[in-house]
Amino acid sequence: MDAFLVDSCKEKEDEVYAIIAPWAGIPTWYTGHQLDQNRFASVMDDLHSRFGPGLDMKVFEAALRRHALDTPTMLGAPDNWDQVIKEFVTMARNH
């Protein structure tokens, strides 16, 4: 992959990372709590406004994985984020 494409993908991931921060930057982002669900819906609306229906889910997944690894966790958080992230990628795809 040439450097331009890598830079472009990284820039898009950084943009998605920033857009989903009000949801995924909260330690409880992955729970079924109503506030977390509302924040998820809000950032999905923001992503659709910015990127339309063509958001690359690999970019979304990478940005979400960064948040999962960067955001402080609380007691009871998953030891492995893979399954949780897959579930949210599916939810994002279907939103």
Burial of 66 (0-12, 13-18, 19+ CB in 10 A): middle
Q: Which residues form the domain of 21?
A: 3-94
pLDDT over 70 percentage in the chain = 93
pTM reported for the whole predicted model:
0.88
Mean pLDDT confidence for 69-80: 82
* Structural domains in the chain (count): 1
**Residue 80: what pLDDT?**
86
SS3 71: coil
Question: Which amino acid type is present at position 72?
Answer: P
Q: What is the 3-state secondary structure (H, E, C) of 5-67?
A: HHHHHHHHHHHHHHHHHHHHCCCCCCCCCHHHHHHHHHHHHHHHHHHHHHCCHHHHHHHHHHH
